[in-house]
Structure 1
Amino acid sequence: MSTTVEEALLTRRSCRAFRPDPVPRAEVERLLDLAARSASNSNSQPWRVHVLTGAAKAALSADLLGAHDEGRRSAGEFAYQPGADQWREPFRSRRRRFGEGLYRDALGIEPGDAAGRAGHHRRNYDFFGAPVGMVVTVSRLPLQGALVDAGLFLQALMLAARGAGLHTCAQASLLDYHPILRRHLGVPADHVIVCGIALGYADESHPIAGHRTTREPVSAFATFHGALDDPG
């Protein structure tokens, strides 16, 4: 399957329910090779990707789920987003609307149902059933600019996956258990963990499959200086 960049952008979503159908290693390598064409500051290419399938993925997921169920959440080693109670407007409202749309509208989990919400959140640590799990890290040496490079790489990977008929979900939630990731994957000390990624074929029969998030209009975030049709 192939698609245009525009189609990939319009159909990409954070998929939270996957079929178990395997993705061939050659296809995963092809997608990573495409993503590696991403721009990076001075072509530094600071990213590294750990790909997990089969027994390796199952072992990591078992440890993550155990830590989650026992409340062994770790403090962030490289926090690049606010804590749950530290988001400011307008981002706080957008985050709240996202949660309402995901839990209440798509999954039928009411705001007061803490157990229901926790049960869905728990699925993060099995990569939502995807056959391929990835963990992306970047070198500390280019400093925080490496996170910009990581974002470009992640976007390219997700769009390449759509071109292959696959779906993805980037997962910051794995950072809550970064010591487990480091132990399983041998992440070197000079690298920071950016996020996990679930990769596979979407389970379109799952209730969450129809969920879509909204986007702000261009007028809300773009300021035009000068006339675009003015050649001078």
Structure 2
Amino acid sequence: MNLQLIPAIDLIDGKCVRLTHGDYDTQKIYNSDPLDQAKIFEDKGIKRLHIVDLDGAKAGKPQHLQILEKIATQTNLIIDFGGGIRHSDSIKSILSSGAKMVSVGSVSVKNPKLFESWLTEFGGKSILLAADVRGEKLLTDAWKNESEFTIFEFIEKWKQKGLTQFFCTDITKDGALEGLNTDFYGELKTKFPTLTVIASGGVTSQDDLIELDKLGVDGAIVGKAIYEERILI
């Protein structure tokens, strides 16, 4: 299989949690020690890790850089880190704390000039665009607001500005363990064959991973399905 499995660690109060449909009231704690969880993933052969600072997303500034640094220094995992990134200083702090990539979402919609400057300053290999969708419509502000853009228009715009990689979360599927719309991710890869396309939200089974791999999707971010042992690593 060419598709890369990327487990997710979502952080609230320094613990590994998962939400359903992004609702903070649905949080379930899976491990109170994120470093321990990261080492479990690494021991099972995982190479990549996706960390979301949910407290940072609320605060508008990363809150768990110490956890990031611990995982980065005590494992060999390639980490992307996101949550609450509004300023260049946050990107610098995340990269200096050991992440290889910074995942950025709402800023790319709400302040495109700033996002473009980040692509220029840090390069496409360091910036991982995080796109949330309902249907084909782009969402911002923790899924509260719908953008005028479709995901296809949006990615095309940033591709022309130097974007090289993105992940897309179908919020109707995220954390629900109900499967995912594989055709949608296949269409993204077909339209953007030169970009690294990562599926996120709704990956429930090994069959989902196999289907995404057949469609040429590069990676899949998986959370609850791993913690609930529906996908074994």
Query: What TM-score do you get using the length of structure 1 for normalisation?
Result: 0.22
Query: What TM-score do you get using the length of structure 2 for normalisation?
Result: 0.22
Greater strand share, 1 or 2? Answer: 2
Greater helix share, 1 or 2? Answer: 1
Higher relative contact order (CA 8 A, sep 6+): 1
Which has the higher Rg, Structure 1 or Structure 2? 1
